[in-house]
Amino acid sequence: AAEQLSESDPQALSYGYQTDASKVDKSKYATYQAGQECANCSLYSGKAGAPSGGCVLFGAKEVAAHGWCSAYTNS
Ligand code: SF4
């Protein structure tokens, strides 16, 4: 299985990545809107229904389908 991106990874920290989008610090990341998650971000390449998948930003490490980071882009 592919390595999962850790929230404590330095690059993940710089983007405020959370494996659970509902845990995003909304006071710090005001762009976050309910319903946004990796699975519906245009930088995500995971298969529909899979628990995790690739993200352009994080190379070989997979991000959580229900995760979020500050580079979220509407798809
Ligand atoms: Fe998730 Fe998109 Fe951030 Fe990648 S860029 S971690 S897919 S929200």
Tell me how far the alpha carbon of residue 6 is from its chain's centroid.
10
Q: What is the pLDDT of residue 37?
A: 98
| Count of domains forming the chain | 1
| pLDDT average, residue stretch 8-26 | 96
The protein residue whose alpha carbon is closest to atom 2 in ligand 1 is 72
In contact, 38 and 53? CB cutoff 8 Å: yes
Q: What is the pLDDT of residue 75?
A: 72
For residue 60, count CB atoms less than 10 angstroms from its CB and return exposed for 0-12, middle for 13-18, buried for 19 or more: exposed
b/e sequence 18-37, b meaning 16+ C-beta within 10 Å: bbebeebeeeeeeebeeebb
Q: Is the pLDDT of residue 53 over 90?
A: yes
Q: Is the ipTM of this complex over 0.90?
A: yes
| pLDDT average, residue stretch 39-58 | 97
| pLDDT average, residue stretch 50-55 | 98
In the reported structure, the alpha carbon of residue 1 is separated from the centroid of ligand 1 by a whole-number distance in angstroms of 19
* Mean pLDDT over each residue of the chain, to the nearest integer: 96
Q: Is residue 69 part of a domain?
A: no
Partner residues linked to 55 by β-bridges:
44
Structural domain including 52 reads 10-64
CATH number reported for the structural domain that contains residue 55 in this entry: 4.10.490.10
Q: Is residue 17 part of a domain?
A: yes
